[in-house]
Amino acid sequence: MHGRSRGFLVVLTLLGLASVGVELTRSAPALAQAPGTWAVTTAVVALLLFSPVTVGRRDRATHMTFGETAAVLAYAVLAPAAAALSLGAAALVLVLSLRTSAVNRLFNATSTLTAAAAGALTVAALSGHAPRLGAAAAAAVVFGTVSHLQVVTVLSLTRGRLIAGFTSGLRQLAVVETAGVVLGLLLAPLLVRDPAGAWRLLPLLAVLAVLSRRYTRLATERDLLDALAEATAELHATLHPDRVLDALHAHATRLLPRSEVALQPGPPQPHQVGDVVADDTLWLVARTGVAQVGVPAEQRVLHGLTAAARRALDNARLHRQVEEQALTDALTGVPNRAALVRHLTRELARAHRHGSSIGLLFLDLDGFKRVNDVHGHEAGDALLCDVAAQLRGAVRTEDLVARLAGDEFCVVLDGMADRAQASGVAEDLRSRLERGLGARGVGVSLGLALGPGDGDDPAALLRAADEAMYADKTARARTGASSARPAAVDD
């Protein structure tokens, strides 16, 4: 918890303790005169607080605990100080039952005590100026509003900014308070006429508490399962690891909107909960902040999301491996024809946008068949691997070396200024290759095409480079030259 929020909690605790002292002192005569009324009213209030209700589904759901209803009944039946003490005692039982941290319990308890004291002051101020039920309704509104503002304050102090969704939270608060106060005004006359006889309501309220808590838990789990199913489907539909992580963070933030969800390289800190995403090197964590109600499902949300993300990352890695294998020549390890076509499509589109050119070299090994016939296919395969390695070592990192089939290779030269530059690079490549291949009786025929001028799609550009290569091969055979300038397609 941030230092400022700790200071706020200390002040709140002191105010809560002071209010309890004042309430015990001022309510002592009333408690001594009618302890049964106070005990029964407190039991009714406690059961109402233990009866959460969820209206709507998913992001549109509204949650309430009949807190305002309980406040109306308490302030209508009991003296202001006794009513505040009743609300505080009932809330303390609820707080102790929550599965949350000690800090959360302390905050929830003290915030309820101070909110109940604010309601008691409201009743006292309106005494003699408004009907008893009207004063009780106003006190219940103050009770709920103060509780809400304390939550907003401590979360905003912890995060250093006003919490997200504050405006929508106010709208939800207005709906909840209105419904709770109206219900309290409907029930209050029953208790006011016969406060001691309110025990007859306890069995009914106990059943309501059990059923409402069960329904709320089932509704929450249903919405959570629906949300996790949607998140899992989206994660598995993403076949890129970075996009999987982006989707994971987005879904976790949506499902835990007030928990400061983050992806971090280490395990959760003492103020966090989390689960591992990838090999103990990446964790999805959420801050365990102070909240009005504990969130035991938070760890389950993280576990479900990270489990889905781990499977999605495995699928993405498998897809990438399969894709790489489909685009790689099995013998030489360089890109194959499919990868070449994909690369040419992308580079030609970029050349069109920027008005630039790319060079495509088409290489064929002269005398390669003789190597296979004389020395065997293993020697031929070794020669092809050697040629691929030499080509990769001779070109820039932005250029692409690919094997088409047999002894045919292509080199894509990125960002060529003109044909002369591309021809110079091509001749240099041939010279470097033939220095090593000449001793094996192998030469290199080479054709050059410049895109998009010689072809504005991969098929046309490959065809132009192939024709240029055959023209070069014919010229070399006719002259018997061991090397020749690369033939270029006419503009």
Dig out the tokens for 201 from the structure: 């309501």
Residues 288, 195 within the same domain = no
Helices (H), 401-441: 419-437
Number of compact structural domains in the chain:
3
Q: Does 78 reside within a domain? A: yes
Residues 76, 183 within the same domain = yes
Q: Could you report the average pLDDT of every consecutive run of 10 residues in the chain (491 residues)?
A: 75 88 84 83 83 62 73 88 88 78 82 90 86 89 88 77 65 79 86 76 80 77 80 85 89 80 86 82 76 53 87 87 86 93 93 90 92 88 93 92 94 90 92 85 93 92 95 85 46 43
* CATH number of the domain where residue 82 is located: 1.10.1760
CA 257, distance to chain mean position in Å, is: 11
What counts of helices (H) and strands (E) characterise the chain? 15, 10
Nearest one of 343, 347, 329, 447 to 387, comparing CA atoms: 329
Q: Does 363 reside within a domain? A: yes
* CATH number of the domain where residue 411 is located: 3.30.70.270
Let me know: does 248 contact 235? Beta carbons within 8 Å: yes
Q: Does 229 reside within a domain? A: no
Rg of the chain over all Cα atoms, to the nearest angstrom:
39
Dig out the tokens for 234 from the structure: 């989206």
Dig out the tokens for 131 from the structure: 């009907």
Helices (H), 238-336: 241-255, 298-326
Nearest one of 307, 292, 328, 209 to 252, comparing CA atoms: 307
Domain of residue 56: give its range. Answer: 3-217
Residues 422, 277 within the same domain = no
> Could you say which DSSP state residue 357 is in?
-
pLDDT value at position 200?
A: 76
pLDDT value at position 55?
A: 59
Residues 312, 359 within the same domain = no
Residues 23, 166 within the same domain = yes
3-state class of 364 per DSSP? Answer: strand
Dig out the tokens for 195 from the structure: 């406060």
Q: Does 76 reside within a domain? A: yes
User: At which of 324, 346, 364 does a domain end?
Assistant: 324
Dig out the tokens for 272 from the structure: 């966090």
Residues 347, 266 within the same domain = no
Residues 196, 297 within the same domain = no
Q: Does 233 reside within a domain? A: no
- Distance of CA 420 to CAs 310, 424, 448, 465, Å? 52, 6, 11, 15
Intra-chain end-to-end CA distance of the chain, in Å: 72
User: At which of 290, 324, 358 does a domain end?
Assistant: 324
Residues 212, 250 within the same domain = no
Q: Please give the order of strands across the beta sheet that includes 282-287.
A: 262-264, 282-287, 272-278
Q: Does 232 reside within a domain? A: no
Distance CA 368, CA 380 (A): 7
Residues 319, 253 within the same domain = yes
Which pTM value belongs to this model? 0.54
Distance CA 40, CA 47 (A): 11
Taking each helix axis from N to C end, the angle separating 298-326 and 201-237, rounded to the nearest 10 degrees, works out to: 10
Nearest one of 89, 91, 77, 84 to 49, comparing CA atoms: 91
Residues 84, 148 within the same domain = yes
Nearest one of 277, 287, 299, 249 to 158, comparing CA atoms: 287
Residues 213, 347 within the same domain = no
Q: Does 330 reside within a domain? A: no
Q: Show Cβ contacts of residue 122 under 8 Å, excluding neighbours closer than 6 positions.
A: 135, 138, 139, 142
Residues 300, 370 within the same domain = no
User: At which of 324, 356, 383 does a domain end?
Assistant: 324
Q: Does 228 reside within a domain? A: no
